[in-house]
Amino acid sequence: MKTVLQRVSHARVVVETNGAPETTGEIQAGVLVLVGFDKGDDESKLAYHLKKMTTLRIFPDEEGKMNRSVTDIKGGLLIVSQFTLAGDCKKGTRPSFDKTMPPREAEALYNTFIRQLKALTTLTVQTGQFGAMMQVSLTNDGPVTFILEN
């Protein structure tokens, strides 16, 4: 499992529905989380990512030091599924997706991830649309980006 955490001042996900753009998720200050699942991932890996994304101190305090979490600033969380995080680019020029979790399993785990996150926090949790072609826009604040794997 991999997550990419990006500290943002604004982020939004738009999908096309019946030929018209529709915003499925949008936050102001907070964290955009891209999440990808590998074959073999299961619920046992979720807790690590959920705790880190809500407690990692990546927001500045009064002195400008990264000393506050998204929970501390009462920010938002925008969660977007991204299967390409499980892609392997080590060989050749075309990524291999052999290690990527099949879509049906990944969607179930993604939905569990969202449910557990909403149970864990009172913060605003917004999402993209699993399996859709999404337009993700963001203003990366810093830029500040972290990659978590387990």
What are the catalytic residues? 82-84
Specify burial of residue 105 (Cβ count, 10 A radius: 0-12, 13-18, 19+).
middle
Residue identified by tokens 């949790």 is: 125
Rounded to the nearest 10 degrees, how much is the dihedral formed by the CA atoms of 43, 49, 51, 52? 170
Rounded to an integer, what distance in angstroms lies between the CA atom of residue 150 and that of residue 147? 10
